[in-house]
Amino acid sequence: MVQAQGYRYVFGPVMSGRLGRSLGLDLLGRRVCSMNCVYCESGPLEQLTLARRAYVPAAELLAELERWEAARQAAGEALPKVVSLGGLGEPTLNSDLPAIIDGVRRLLPGVPVAVLTNASLMTDPQVRQELAKADMLLPSLDSLVPEEFALVNRAHPGLNPKDIADGILAFQEHSRALGKDSRARHTKLFLEILLVAGVNDSERNLELLAAFCNRLQPDRVDVVTLSRPGTEALARAVDPATLARWRERLAGQANLAAQAGERDNTRERAEGTVGSRLAQREKNGHKQNGSVQPEELRARLLASLARRPQTGAQLAEALLADQGAVSTVLAELLGAGRIAVRQQDGQDYYQARTE
């Protein structure tokens, strides 16, 4: 029997609005980032930095992933659709990024690797080269207007939006050139723009980002907004009409369908999508995780709830677990004071308590 221990860096799988059933890897382990966005839901920032270091050493993270994979195999559970590298801060700050991508490919062969990044370090050719190892890159760029960028992303003083945009363009050019060689892998690029009402939803920003998308020609543009208040009270969602207008405009420029996605560190919207995905899962014949040991389920629930508040149904769906087993473990964790629950949109959302 595989011994269940806690997980510090591996979390989920969670249902990601943009990627589907995604196993998350936290490359920071604490709140270290090159930005301090007003909408960030990861909690108060500990360190604002551009310094690359092995914040979580590859060997430590991969040993945990290996343990997770052994438990998955023992339970006969389906593989996640994607492994996403992100976490409590900016993942490209971890200098072990290439070793981590290589390790994920070795441990979970055939599962695509995605990197969620704020793109701040893409100004560095070395970082771009490392990111080209991924199957999917999801950079965010919220504003090309310097004053708005300062307000929404509150980035390290060494950063400016033009340099970041140039870094993303350089990556795409290189990736496209590689893609012409049929033996090389072309990294798909999904750009994300998060709109905060009255901050970066200006016409000027829309025009600048439209011109940028026209040059970049990403594989997809996700224009999103907050699904609940961000870290700062001033961070408010834009209205649906504004969101629709931006999506239409940017899709036209990039000659693609701008998507209704959701930032992966934000809560899934209570739109009834869980029910439809559950039905789809049954149609696909996905096996439920009924044979996972309760200790393993407990460890996975805690790791997942430390990154994102979720309902019992969302947890059961993402972890391929039996709803009754999830409810039992949630009740036990609530009783032990390890998690908290609160109501939103008429549903109970669970979240890990910080120690």
CA distance 173 to 164: 14
Q: Which of 281, 307, 344 is closest to 42 using CA atoms?
A: 307
The least distance separating ligand SF4 from the CB of residue 334, rounded to whole angstroms, comes to 27
CB-nearer residue toward ligand SF4: 231 or 273: 231
Nearer to ligand SF4, 40 or 131 (CB): 40
Min separation Cβ 161 and ligand SF4, Å: 13
**Min. distance of Cβ 179 from ligand SF4 in angstroms?**
27
Q: For residues 146 and 275, which CB has a smaller minimum distance to ligand SF4 in the complex?
A: 146
**In this structure, are residues 304 and 315 in contact, taking their beta carbons and an 8 Å threshold?**
yes
Rank residues 112 and 230 by Cβ distance to ligand SF4 and give the closer one.
230
Q: Which is nearer to ligand SF4, 27 or 258 (CB)?
A: 27
Residues of the shown chain interacting with ligand SF4 in the complex, contacts defined by CB under 6 A: 33, 35-37, 40, 42, 89-90, 118
Minimum CB separation of residue 42 from ligand SF4 in Å reads 5
Identity of the residue, 36 or 49, whose beta carbon is nearer to ligand SF4 in the bound complex: 36
| Cβ 336 to ligand SF4 shortest distance, Å | 29
Q: Supply φ then ψ for residue 46, to 5 degrees.
A: -95, -40
